[in-house]
Each structure stands twice: as structure tokens, then as C-alpha cells.
Amino acid sequence: MDLVSSAARSHGDALALMTVTGTLSFGELEHETAQTAHALRTAGICSGSRVALVMPNSCDLVMLLLALLRTAAIAAPMNNRIPPSTITRNLGNISPDAVIVPAELAEAFPGYRILTAEKLVSTAAASPAAIPQADMAPALASPATIIHTSSSSGHPKAVLHSVANHYYSALGSNINIPFMPGDRWLLSLPLFHIGGYAVLVRSLAGGGAIVLPALGESIQDTLRRTAPTHLSLVPTQLYRMLHEPGIVHNMQQVKAILLGGSTVEKTLLEKARATELPVYLSYGSTEMSSQVTTTPAPAEQVAAGKVLAYRELTIDCNGEILVRGRCLSQGYLGPSGIACHTDGDGWFHTGDTGLIDEDGTLHVTGRMDNMFISGGENIHPEEIERELQAIPGILRAVVVPAPDKEYGNRPAAFIEGSPAAPDNDALHRMLSQHLGTLKTPRSITRLTEWRLLEGTEKIDRNYYKQLVSTLMNVQPSV
């Protein structure tokens, strides 16, 4: 099923893509992605090829992703915000046939076949548009993307999605929040994130346009410049926008603000309600191709909403949220192949806990592990602890969530170090280099002895969760 050609037939002259330099209709989008597909084929990319892309959001990335979809290749947009060494580790899970990068990263990933985006774009511009349609129509069951999770296990998992997974995810979303010709969805999330990629398919399925910010342009500036009708935000983004003078009026003009990625603090939701923003709360995952439940923000409580079409959800005897349906991905991809991620009845165990009220509304109550969410991204304490304990002079470390008004939570570290241990400024620099800013602890507290669980040598994590709140003079979040 060629989603791009189908959109061109249904919405040919309607606006499909708006950038800082111009616009494209769905008909023009079909033409340009056909040229890009030809350039990819000229470079040896064909049906079933795995192609990683390490690029920021851009018109070129949109064209490449849609062209890969049309050629039945498997696109793997990678997180370009993490160090190249970490990207290389993630590439090892997916064994790509090629890696597309900007020219400045052409030497960053030795051992892989590198294609530069600039070369592909120039080849596409000189390519014929006439490509046999039969060669460009992947079956719905064909694998389409590999998108990494946000590291809920400490290491990102490579999730394999089919064309059908993305298509039915988009259909269910568009039934709930219509996205049709004349609408414009601001692409405010990265395309390596399932929430970003999902907007592409919603556009093809519903006929609404994608608004692409200029490189380096803030969401706020794009909002003022383009007047979109739809927004996808994580709570941290909403927090920042609500605290910027003059932007709330622009936000009030949109039809829907889809909020997801982490638990929403009550105070943030109350402020959004007070300013009459059309906020929709959602619950979803990479494994389920984005949203599972979505609802207009209720007046009195925080809830994740009702299950969308083409999804199923239940709560097991342990209170864990289980999901399945046409949006459920095909499994996790690793060096040894595709690993099944469901139980014998086809349910995916999310690791989240929750309950369903008498109205059928899902309420997410927490996680079943130590993971916490910061700024819409999953943070696994053990990953940070491993990095700390790999530094000479650091003897022991524990990382816990510290409540934060902007991010929801930020990591805070307690460490035991020898006299040779680096000072805190040096530790922050080292951790930022290896983990990125979001995973670098906001505070590092040095200890000489530890509170242990009674009768064990295990550190009492709950004690340190309480302690960090006391040290910050902030009540712990619940």
C-alpha cells in the first residue's frame, strides 16, 4: 500500500508540507518523494533494506523517510542528540545496510556504509519522477520502520513496525482528533521519536498538512509564524510555553494540543485549563505505534483517556497495563533477529500500572520498576549509576528522581568516592559527554556511609528518594 500515492489521489491539491522556504501539495509531495526514491534505488537501497538516518528534523529527512516507505525499505531514524559512540552501539542492534547522515558526520560511523543526505538530495533533483508504481507499493504487513524506545530498560530497544501498525495507529488517532485538509500539525517532536513519526502517517491518512519548524527555530516562534491547528507536546514543552509571555494567545487558537510522553503534574494541567487550552491527555508507547488512549483533559482529574480504535487494553491481576491490537509492533530487533515481546495471548506487558474506572477511562498510576520520566524521556537510574561507577575513584552510586517543576523529575545522584575521585564539576562534564544533558544528575551528594535495607547489603532507594526531596525542600511527587 503506497500511502503517499493514496494521499495524492485523495487530497492532490491540498497542502501537505509547510516549511520556512515554501509549501508542497500532496501531488507535489508524491512527485518529490518519487524522485528521492529513485535516488535511493540508484544508491542500492531496495525493498527490505535497513537504512538508519542520523539527521535533525528537516525537509530532507521527511522526504527520505517517505521515500523509504515508498520503496518498501525499512527506515530507522536515530536519535541524533546523543554522542556518536552511543549511536554506534544502537546501530549494532539493527545491522543497517546503510546509514544516511549529513556531510559533516560522514566519518562518524566507521564500519558502516555511509550515504550523505546532500548527495541523495542532489541526485533526487536530477532524477526522473516516473518510477513503476508496482515497485513502490509495500504490503501492509511489510516492515516499515525501526524506532528506538526511550530507554526504559537502560538501553534503547529497537522496535520493528509494519506499514499496518502505523496506518491503523493513524486511523484511530484521526477518528478521535480529526486531521483533515486545511489542518496543520506542527512537527514539534523529533522524527526519531514515535510521536514525531506518527504525525507523518496521520497526514497521509487524513489529508492534514505538516508544519516543519526551521532548523533551530523554537516551537514558540514557529507557532507564531505558521498558526498550526494541531500540536504534539510533552509536559516539559507545555510548561515552558505557558511561562513565555504572549504565546498563550497563539496556543488558544489551535484545535488540539496532544500531550503525552510522561505523567502530567496537576498544577501544569490546572494552568492549561485556566488558560482554556484544548489539551488532550494521552497514553501510549513506541511498541504500540504511539497513542493507545486519548481524551480531552477532564475537569477534575488527570486521566489517560479511553482506548482508541484498533487497540485493546486490559489490566492484569498485578495491576499492570497490557495492550495489543493492529497497532502493536512486530517485536524487538537485535543482533540475533526479531524477539517476540508478547505473551501467549498476544498481550504486550507495558511495565506500567493503572486502573480503568466505571466510564472505561484509563488512569496510569506508576511504573513497575525504578524508571522515571524527565521531560518526556524515560530515565533509568542504573544506566547513570553504571557510568558513575566506571569513573576512577567512584566507589558506589545510587540515582533517584528529584522532583522538578519544569521536567517533572530530574536525576539526582548520591555517591561514595575515594580521595582520587573527580570533583562534582568534572563529574558533570564527563556524564554530560557520555549520557547527554537530560540524564546528567542535577545534583551530586557525597556520602561516607549508606542506608541499607535491613539484613541486606542493598541500598535503600526509597530512603534516598525521600532524602533528595528533603535536601531540596520539595515534597516528593506521587
Domain residue extents for the chain: 3-367, 372-472
8 Å CB contact between 426 and 440: no
E-only strand ranges, 86-239: 98-101, 114-116, 143-148, 158-162, 184-186, 209-211, 230-233
pLDDT of residue 329: 98
pLDDT of residue 476: 44
pLDDT of residue 478: 37
Residue type, 206: G
pLDDT of residue 431: 96
pLDDT of residue 155: 72
Q: Average pLDDT per run of 10 along the chain, which is 478 residues long?
A: 96 97 97 96 96 97 98 96 90 96 97 98 83 66 94 73 99 98 96 96 99 93 96 87 88 94 72 91 96 84 87 94 98 93 97 89 80 88 87 90 93 93 95 93 94 66 89 55
pLDDT of residue 472: 75
**HSE on the CB side for 256, CA within 13 Å?**
21
E-only strand ranges, 197-330: 209-211, 230-233, 256-259, 279-285, 290-296, 306-307, 311-315, 320-325
pLDDT of residue 459: 82
Q: Which fold has domain 3-367?
A: Rossmann fold (3.40.50)
Please give the model's pTM, rounded to 2 decimal places: 0.80
- The secondary structure of residue 188, as a DSSP letter, is -
pLDDT of residue 200: 98
| CATH code given to domain 372-472 | 3.30.300.30
Residue type, 339: A
| Helix residue ranges per DSSP H, 71-187 | 84-94, 117-125, 163-176
pLDDT of residue 299: 60
DSSP 342-401: S-TTS-EEEEEEEEE-TTS-EEEEEESSS-EEETTEEE-HHHHHHHHHTSTTEEEEEEEE
Q: Among 438, 445, 371, which Cα is nearest to 413's?
A: 445
pLDDT of residue 297: 84
Determine phi and psi for 51, rounding to 5 degrees: -125, 115
